[in-house]
Structure 1
């Protein structure tokens, strides 16, 4: 379970999120600080945070864009299926790094021919994976991705312990 602290400093809501672990020598080493200024629109209902501060001296990993290909490389023509699979692929990459979703500081998502109807699918999937530890995120509409049937891709910046 994660523990959340909120501080109100000069119009900023700062949330420090960490995973308590009695066996961890210094649990503060991994905490990401989520910043959502009160005078800006609250992005958390849409599945992201305005900013995330990475701890000093943290090791950072960059996960390449994960598309919606399954283990055989097949792509569904359905946008929602591709998004779900892309987040499953991101989770597999995190597992390979021995990292958890609450260690992701930043996501960049690319959506082919984006329109507002995609937002519900995107928000649902990011909230399922990240819960309250919503990373900073940028959505970039694109005309196409590396492979013609790809409709979605997500890349991540991860803080390692």
Structure 2
């Protein structure tokens, strides 16, 4: 069966190389619209993926990494239609921190759909937060 959908991986410079771990940071899908599926972004900064021990800092860094991926697709946070949050040892304080940071990056007129999954551990022992996303824009 022939696939008429144009899709391509995009791994922006400034983020670590995910290929040794078997994934891409994002996939662009183009048809009458452009869809972008973005892998989980964590609080690690840059190519060496250095993590802070502070939850708020990890959330801010993950959102910055998400912004970098979106920018590589000529998109912004307002193009995101769905997010999934993974929070280690989730509690109300962490939820309040997340809500504060979400209000900082999304306009109040457009908030994406969301799923929050409390977890005991993420891919690295000191990861406290991860966010993945689906973004859409017209061609």
Whether the TM-score (by the shorter chain) exceeds 0.5 is yes
Q: Which residue of 2 aligns with 1:153?
A: 130
Per the TM alignment, residue 58 of structure 1 is displaced from its structure 2 partner at its CA by 3.0
In the other structure, the counterpart of 1:44 is none
Match of 1:98 among 74, 96, 118: 74
Which of these residues, 43, 49, 55, is aligned with residue 68 of structure 1? Answer: 43
- In the alignment, which residue of structure 2 is the partner of 1:143? 120
1:1-161 equivalences in 2 (<5 Å)? 57-71=32-46, 72-132=48-108, 133-161=110-138
CA displacement at 1:160 relative to structure 2? 2.8
Aligned length: 106
Could you say which structure has the greater relative contact order, defined with CA pairs below 8 angstroms and 6 or more residues apart? 2
Structure 1 unaligned residues grouped into runs of 5+: 1-56
| Residues in 2 aligned to 1:88 and 1:59: alpha-carbon distance in whole angstroms | 22
> Offset at 1:159?
0.1
- Runs of 4+ with deviation above 6 angstroms: none
1:52-100 residue CA offsets vs partner (Å, 9 max, x unmatched): xxxxx43311000000001131100110100010001000000011111
| Alpha-carbon offset, residue 111 of structure 1 | 0.2
Aligned to 1:109, the other structure's residue is in SS state strand
For residues 77 and 55 of structure 2, the distance between their equivalents in structure 1, rounded to whole angstroms, comes to 22
- Post-superposition offset of 1:120: 1.3
